[in-house]
């Protein structure tokens, strides 16, 4: 269990990136949703011991990770949003080097570890290729391979599917799901479908604060009978935004589909089976209205 208690972080310029964030994250996949600038990456770097918060505590099991960051690093696998690699190094050699850094000194043991990870991430046939030639999805799979060195107990992945095509995204998410049973995996993203597909628990972080937390199915159930949809002409959108609480809009076949939040079904609107996207957009709409 990862316990985050009262974490706040204020940068030197006065920006408050995190504001009293508290979460209990159990074993398995945990989704952290939020828009760009919500504070997700700051929280991930803080958990990964790459920066020290202004206040608060973080415990992983018996470890106080802010007091003993080196102990957490032995148990940590981390795939940051911007994962830098050495472009003129092969996948095999790079993983071998990282295994040395993780403390695997025996050459035979390292070889076995690297070969296992390359097979696990479907990169074995590309083991001798320079990482510079990898596609975006292959680089992300390589990032997960390096994060899995040393059998980590806590894995953090920050915006892992941004920019991936649908096939690579599915392959990457299946890989995460396959390793989630016995470890804590935090999936930090602004892509709602990633969390809906994988995570039995989640939180929404926005404005540096936890705005919502729980099981996706329970959060979706709470919106039942409160989300309605209507297809309108594009030039009707402004009038509907003035009359209703529009939480999302999207285009389909040149028409605009709006979802609104209302306790009773307005005239001209249809029922909609709400999803996690509606929960997310409702949370952000409530935050904007309160600002």
* Interval 171-204: pLDDT, tens: 878 888 888 888 999 999 888 988 988 899 999 9
Q: What pTM was computed for the model?
A: 0.86
What are 244-290's pLDDT values in tens digits?
Answer: 999 999 888 878 999 999 989 999 999 988 889 999 998 888 888 77
pLDDT tens, position by position, 115-158: 999 998 889 999 999 988 888 788 888 888 888 898 899 999 98
pLDDT of residue 199: 92
Query: What angle do the packed helices 136-147 and 91-101 form, to 10 degrees?
Result: 30
Residue 30 has phi, psi (to 5 degrees) of -130, 125
Give the E-state strand segments of the chain in sequence order.
2-10, 16-25, 28-33, 55-60, 63-64, 76-79, 154-158, 184-189, 201-206, 209-214, 227-232, 245-252, 255-261, 270-271
SS3 call for 114: helix
The whole-number pLDDT of residue 84 equals: 66
Residue whose entry in the numeric block shows the structure tokens 């043991």: 109
**DSSP letter string over 72-97?**
HHTTEEEE-SS----TTSBHHHHHHH
Overall average pLDDT of the 56-80 stretch: 92
Does residue 291 register a pLDDT over 70?
no
Q: What is the mean pLDDT of residues 202-224?
A: 93
Please determine, for residue 53, whether its predicted confidence score (pLDDT) is greater than 80: yes
Instruction: Answer yes or no: is pLDDT of 162 > 80.
Output: no
Query: For 93-102, how does the pLDDT look when each residue is reduced to its tens digit (9 = 90+)?
Result: 999 998 998 8
Task: Give the Cα-Cα-Cα angle 3, 6, 12 (nearest 5 degrees).
Answer: 120
Position with higher pLDDT, 37 vs 81: 37
| Region 104-111 average pLDDT | 92
Please state, for a pLDDT cut of 90, what percent of the chain lies above it.
Answer: 57
Ranges 73-82, 107-116, 159-168: which has the least confidence: 159-168
pLDDT reported for residue 45: 92
209-214, strands of its sheet edge to edge? 76-79, 154-158, 184-189, 28-33, 201-206, 209-214
Match 């070889």 to its residue by tokens: 111
């Amino acid at each position: 269990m990862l316990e985050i208690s009262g974490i706040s972080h204020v940068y030197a310029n006065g920006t408050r990136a995190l504001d009293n964030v508290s979460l209990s994250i159990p074993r398995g996949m945990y989704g952290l949703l939020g828009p760009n600038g919500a504070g997700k990456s700051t929280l991930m770097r803080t958990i990964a011991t790459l920066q020290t918060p202004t206040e608060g505590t973080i415990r992983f099991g018996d470890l106080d990770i802010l007091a003993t960051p080196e102990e957490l690093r032995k148990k940590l696998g981390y795939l940051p949003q911007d994962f830098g690699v050495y472009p003129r190094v092969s996948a095999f050699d790079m993983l071998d080097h990282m295994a040395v850094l993780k403390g695997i000194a025996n050459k035979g043991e390292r070889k076995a570890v690297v070969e296992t990870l390359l097979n696990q991430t479907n990169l074995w046939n590309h083991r001798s290729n320079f990482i510079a030639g990898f596609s975006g999805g292959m680089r992300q799979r390589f990032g997960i391979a390096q994060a899995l060195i040393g059998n980590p107990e806590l894995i953090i992945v920050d915006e892992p599917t941004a920019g991936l095509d649908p096939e690579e995204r599915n392959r990457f998410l299946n890989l995460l799901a396959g390793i989630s049973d016995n470890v804590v995996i935090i999936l930090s993203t602004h892509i709602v479908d990633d969390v809906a597909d994988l995570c039995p628990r989640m939180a929404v972080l926005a404005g540096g604060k936890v705005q919502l937390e729980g099981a996706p199915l329970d959060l979706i159930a709470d919106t039942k009978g409160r989300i309605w949809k209507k297809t309108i002409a594009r030039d009707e959108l402004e009038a509907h935004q003035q009359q209703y609480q529009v939480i999302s809009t999207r285009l389909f076949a040149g028409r605009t589909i709006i979802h609104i939040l209302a306790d009773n079904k307005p005239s001209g609107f249809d029922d909609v089976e709400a999803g996690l996207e509606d929960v997310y957009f409702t949370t952000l709409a409530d935050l904007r209205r309160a600002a």
